Structure 1
Amino acid sequence: MMQDLWNTVSKYPRFIFGVIFGVILNVLAPFAPLFKRPVTAIATVGILLASFAFLSFTLRAMLGLNPV
């Protein structure tokens, strides 16, 4: 009986990984057509990097981690 419990509990990490992976794939799927042409791919990567930099600088300034 205890062995069945541990077999069931050991399946949870695989389930959680599958759920997270599925969510990531569904979030990124709409962006896939943008990477078919080089111009839109460069623009998309630029926008993503700029968004990440903006968010990073904003959070650093708000939290006082590094003076910007």
Structure 2
Amino acid sequence: MGEFFENVARYPRYLISFTLGIFLVFFEWIKPLFKNPISAIAVGGIGIGIFSLLYFTLKAMLGLSPV
């Protein structure tokens, strides 16, 4: 039974390292775009747009909006 809980305790560490790895790979892929000011503004705008889309979608799905 101790091995079971030992294995279960490993999953949060795996989840954190997996998520961090995805963000680091994504950042390395996008980093060259920040050398040009025009593409940096475009990447920033796309990032803000994706965040806004997720925010408003989740807000509406969870019933937090007054509508």
Asked if TM exceeds 0.5, the reply is yes
Give the match for residue 33 of structure 1.
Answer: 32
CA displacement 1:16-62 (0-9 Å, x = unmatched)? 4x835444211211101110100000010001001100110011001
Q: How many residues of Structure 1 are paired with residues of Structure 2 in the alignment?
A: 54
How far did 1:67 drift? 2.5
Report the secondary structure of 2:65's partner residue. Answer: coil
What TM-score do you get using the length of structure 2 for normalisation? 0.64
For 1:22 and 1:59, locate their aligned partners in 2 and report how far apart those are by CA, in whole Å. Answer: 25
**Unaligned stretches of 5+ residues in structure 1:** 1-11
Give the match for residue 48 of structure 1.
Answer: 47
| CA RMSD, Structure 1 to Structure 2 (Å) | 2.2
Which one-letter code corresponds to 1:46 in the other structure?
A: G
Distance 1:63 1:45, change over 3 A: same
For 1:47 and 1:23, locate their aligned partners in 2 and report how far apart those are by CA, in whole Å. Answer: 18
Cα contact 1:61–1:67 (8 A) shared by 2: no
Which one-letter code corresponds to 1:44 in the other structure?
A: V
**Unaligned stretches of 5+ residues in structure 2:** 1-9
- Considering only CA atoms, is the larger Rg found in Structure 1 or Structure 2? 1
What TM-score do you get using the length of structure 1 for normalisation? 0.63
